[in-house]
C-alpha cells in the first residue's frame, strides 16, 4: 500500500512538473503596445549608431529587450507598409485600388485581437488605403476594422498639401504648423482642422497614457502610430531647438520621450511584465529632403527605394521577464507581427488570403531560436535569400523638387550583394557568383508566381 501511494505521489509530481514546464514555456497572452513611427531611418536612434539624437528610453528598451538588425517594413512607402502590417500579407499580392483590403476587414490584426477579447485602440496615423473623401464614413475607417477607439489622422501629415502646392523641399522649408489642411479626428468626429502639427506627438502620448490607465484590468492592444518624423516635421515647444541633431533630432527625441511615458505608465500600473512593447518604423528615411528627413546610417538608399535604406528599419521587442536581452541579426518583417501576435494570444491566422506570408517570430523572441524567415521580397525590384540579395531593377527615389518618380532601369544581369560583408550594397559580385544569381532569380520568380 505504501509503495502504491509513493508511486502515485511520484506520478502526480511528474504531471505537476510537466504542467509547470508547459506554463513556463507558454507565457500568458500579453498586452501589446505597437509603436509605429513614420519615416524613421535605420540610423536615427542612439542604439543604432546615431551620435547626435539622444534616445535614452529607446536605447534602454534595446539593451533590455531584443534589438533586430535585419527587420524590414512591408513596403518602402506608407500605404504598402501598413497594408502588410495589418494583414500579414505581402503588399504585392493585395489589390492596388484604394480599398484593396475592404473585403478583408475582419481578417485584419485589430479584428483578430478583438476576437481574443482584447480592447483595441489606434492613436495616430491610419493610412491603410488612399486618402478618403470623407474619412468619417469611409468603409476602411479604423472603427470598421476592429478598433474600439480611434484618435488621429486619416493619412500622412502632408496630405493634403497646402492649396495649390506640392510636397516639395521649398514647401517644407517654409510651412508652419497649420499650413497643411490635415484633420484631427476622434472616432468619426473632426475635433481640429487644420491640426496643430507641433502638438501631434504630445497629444497622442497623453491619449496613450490615459487609455492604458483605463484598460489596466483588461487585455489590450494599443497601436500608437505616430505621424512623425514624416515631413513636414514638428516638435512640441519644449522639444524645439534642443537636439544636436537639429530640427529632425528634436522630433526624434520627442518620440523617445513618448516611448518613455508609455513604459513608465505600464510600470506604474504594475503591468510591465504582462506587456509586450514593439517599436518599429514604416519605412526608411526621406533623406532627399535634407533637414526634414533622417538617415539610413550605414545603409544605401532611402524611403521609396528597394535599397536596404528603404525598408530595413530599427525594431525593438521589449517584454521584461519574458524576452531576454539580445541582438538578433536574423531576418524579420513587420508583416510577421500578425502571426507572432496570433501565436502569443491564441488568435487565428488568415492563411487562405493571397500573399499571406506572416511568419511567427515568437520562437526567437521567447527562446532565442533562429528566425524562421529566410527570404524577403522588396516589392518586385529586389529579393533577399539568406546573406545574398539581388536587384533586378533600380529603385524608385522621388525627386524632391518635382515630386516625380525617377525612371526605372532594368538590369540585364541582376546586381548581387552579400549583405553580411557589404551592408552598404556597394560591391556588385554577380560576375563572380552567377550560380547564386540564378538561384535567387528562381526563388524570386517562385515567390511572385512566375
Q: How far apart are CA 393 and CA 389, in angstroms?
A: 12
Assess whether pLDDT exceeds 90 at residue 22.
no
The answer to whether 47 is a known catalytic residue is no
331 pairs with which residues across the strands?
70
Q: Is the pLDDT of residue 429 over 50?
A: yes
Question: Does residue 322 register a pLDDT over 60?
Answer: yes
Q: Is the pLDDT of residue 333 over 70?
A: yes
* Start-end of CATH 3.30.1120.10 domains in the chain: 380-448
Task: Give CA–CA dist 20/378, Å, rounded.
Answer: 43
CA angle in degrees (0–180, nearest 5) for 382-386-392: 15
pLDDT of residue 397: 65
Kindly report the CA angle at 194 between 192 and 196, in degrees rounded to 5?
80
Q: Which fold has domain 380-448?
A: Arylsulfatase, C-terminal domain (3.30.1120)
- For position 401, what pLDDT does the model report? 62
Q: What is the pLDDT of residue 175?
A: 97
C-alpha cell recorded at residue 236: 512640441
pLDDT confidence of residue 116: 98
Q: How far is CA 122 from CA 34, 152, 222, 246, in A?
A: 10, 8, 6, 29
In degrees and rounded to multiples of 5, residue 32 shows phi and psi of -130, 125
Rounded to the nearest integer, the mean pLDDT of the chain is: 92
Contact present, 230 and 156 (Cβ < 8 Å): yes
Catalytic residue, candidates 78, 145, 175, 288: 78
Express each pLDDT in 239-268 by its tens digit. 999 999 999 999 999 999 999 999 999 999
Cell of residue 351, nine digits: 492563411
What pLDDT band is residue 399 in, cutting at 50, 70 and 90?
low
What is the Cα–Cα distance from 353 to 101, expressed in whole angstroms? Answer: 11
Return the pLDDT at 324: 98
- pLDDT tier, 450 (very low <50, low <70, confident <90, very high otherwise): confident
Per-residue pLDDT for 12 more than 80? no
Return d(Cα 312, Cα 294) in angstroms, integer.
14
Cα–Cα separations (whole angstroms), residue 73 to 125, 312, 348: 16, 6, 22
Which pLDDT score, from 0 to 100, does residue 7 have?
43
Residue 99 has pLDDT above 80, yes or no: no
Between β-strands 388-393 and 31-37, what pairing exists: parallel, antiparallel or unpaired?
Answer: unpaired
Q: Which residue has the cell 468619426?
A: 188
Nearby residues of 234 by Cβ (< 8 Å), 6 or more positions away: 177, 197, 198, 200, 228, 251
pLDDT band at 132 (very low <50, low <70, confident <90, very high): confident
Checking if the pLDDT of 222 tops 50, the result is yes
User: Is 78 one of the annotated active-site residues of the chain?
Assistant: yes
The structure's pTM equals: 0.93
The dihedral through the CA atoms of 372, 377, 294, 177 has a sign that is negative
Residue 54 to residues 157, 248, 249, 429, 448, Cα–Cα distance (Å): 24, 12, 8, 37, 41
d(CA 261, CA 58): 11
Catalytic residue among 57, 90, 127, 379: 127
DSSP code at position 253: H
| Sheet strands (E) in 322-380 | 326-333, 375-378
Does residue 439 have a pLDDT over 70?
Answer: yes
The reported pLDDT for the residue numbered 213 is 98
pLDDT tens-place string over residues 28-87 = 999 999 999 999 999 999 999 999 999 999 999 999 999 999 999 999 999 999 999 999
Q: How far apart are CA 144 and CA 105, in angstroms?
A: 7
Scanning the structure block, which residue is given the C-alpha cell 505621424? 227
- The model's confidence at residue 409, banded by pLDDT at 50, 70 and 90, is confident
CB 90 within 8 A of CB 84: yes
Please give the pLDDT value at position 16. Answer: 46
For residues 77 and 303, the answer to whether their CB atoms sit within 8 Å is: yes
State the Cα–Cα distance between residues 410 and 388, nearest whole angstrom. 19
| Residue 26: per-residue pLDDT | 67
Helices (H) and strands (E) in the chain, counts: 11, 14
Share of the chain above pLDDT 70, in %: 91
CATH T-level topology, domain 28-373: Alkaline Phosphatase, subunit A (3.40.720)
Q: Which three cell numbers stand for residue 305?
A: 527605394
CA distance 435 to 414: 12
Among 420, 374, 376, 397, residue whose Cα is nearest residue 310:
397
Q: Where in the chain is the domain with CATH 3.40.720.10?
A: 28-373
Q: Which of 305, 323, 281, 270 is nearest to 39 (CA)?
A: 281
Distance of CA 365 to the CA centre of its chain: 16
* Nearest by Cα to 376 from 311, 279, 329: 311
| Least confident window among 21-25, 108-112, 297-301, 348-352 | 21-25
Amino acid at each position: 500500500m505504501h509503495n502504491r501511494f509513493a508511486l502515485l505521489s511520484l506520478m502526480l509530481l511528474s504531471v505537476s512538473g510537466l504542467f509547470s514546464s508547459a506554463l513556463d514555456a507558454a507565457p500568458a497572452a500579453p498586452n501589446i503596445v505597437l509603436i509605429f513611427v513614420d519615416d524613421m531611418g535605420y540610423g536615427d536612434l542612439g542604439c543604432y549608431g546615431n551620435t547626435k539624437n539622444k534616445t535614452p528610453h529607446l536605447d534602454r528598451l534595446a539593451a533590455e529587450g531584443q534589438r533586430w538588425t535585419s527587420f524590414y517594413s512591408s513596403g518602402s512607402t506608407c500605404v504598402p507598409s501598413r497594408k502588410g502590417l495589418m494583414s500579414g500579407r505581402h503588399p504585392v499580392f493585395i489589390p492596388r485600388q484604394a480599398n484593396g483590403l475592404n473585403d478583408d476587414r475582419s481578417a485584419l490584426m485589430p479584428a483578430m485581437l478583438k476576437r481574443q477579447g482584447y480592447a483595441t485602440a489606434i492613436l495616430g496615423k491610419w493610412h491603410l488605403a488612399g486618402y478618403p473623401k470623407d474619412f468619417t464614413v469611409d468603409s476602411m475607417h479604423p472603427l470598421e476594422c476592429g478598433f474600439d477607439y480611434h484618435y488621429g489622422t486619416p493619412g500622412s501629415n502632408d496630405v493634403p498639401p497646402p492649396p495649390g502646392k506640392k510636397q516639395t523641399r521649398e514647401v517644407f522649408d517654409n510651412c508652419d504648423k497649420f499650413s497643411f489642411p490635415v484633420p484631427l479626428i476622434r472616432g468619426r468626429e473632426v475635433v481640429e482642422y487644420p491640426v496643430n502639427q507641433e502638438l501631434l506627438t504630445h497629444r497622442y502620448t497623453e491619449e496613450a497614457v490615459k487609455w492604458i490607465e483605463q484598460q489596466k484590468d483588461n487585455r489590450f492592444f494599443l497601436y500608437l502610430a505616430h505621424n512623425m518624423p514624416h515631413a513636414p516635421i514638428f516638435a512640441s515647444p519644449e522639444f524645439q531647438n534642443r537636439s544636436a541633431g537639429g530640427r529632425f533630432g528634436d522630433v526624434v527625441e520627442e518620440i523617445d520621450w513618448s516611448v518613455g511615458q508609455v513604459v513608465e505608465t505600464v510600470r506604474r500600473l504594475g503591468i510591465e511584465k504582462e506587456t509586450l512593447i514593439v517599436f518599429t518604423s514604416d519605412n526608411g528615411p526621406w533623406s532627399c529632403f535634407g533637414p526634414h528627413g533622417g538617415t539610413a546610417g550605414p545603409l544605401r538608399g532611402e524611403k521609396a527605394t528597394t535599397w536596404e535604406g528603404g525598408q530595413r528599419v530599427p525594431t525593438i521587442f521589449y517584454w521584461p521577464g519574458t524576452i531576454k536581452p539580445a541582438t538578433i541579426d536574423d531576418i524579420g518583417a513587420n508583416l510577421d507581427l500578425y502571426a507572432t501576435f496570433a501565436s502569443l494570444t491564441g488568435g487565428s491566422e488568415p492563411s487562405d488570403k493571397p500573399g499571406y506570408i506572416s511568419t511567427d517570430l515568437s520562437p526567437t523572441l521567447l527562446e532565442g531560436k533562429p528566425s524562421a524567415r529566410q527570404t524577403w521580397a522588396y516589392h518586385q525590384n529586389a529579393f533577399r535569400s539568406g546573406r545574398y540579395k539581388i536587384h533586378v531593377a533600380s529603385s524608385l527615389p522621388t525627386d524632391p523638387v518635382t515630386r516625380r518618380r525617377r525612371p526605372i532601369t532594368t538590369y540585364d544581369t541582376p546586381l548581387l550583394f552579400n549583405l553580411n560583408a557589404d551592408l552598404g550594397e556597394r560591391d556588385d559580385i554577380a560576375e563572380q557568383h552567377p550560380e547564386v544569381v540564378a538561384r535567387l532569380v528562381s526563388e524570386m520568380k517562385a515567390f511572385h508566381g512566375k
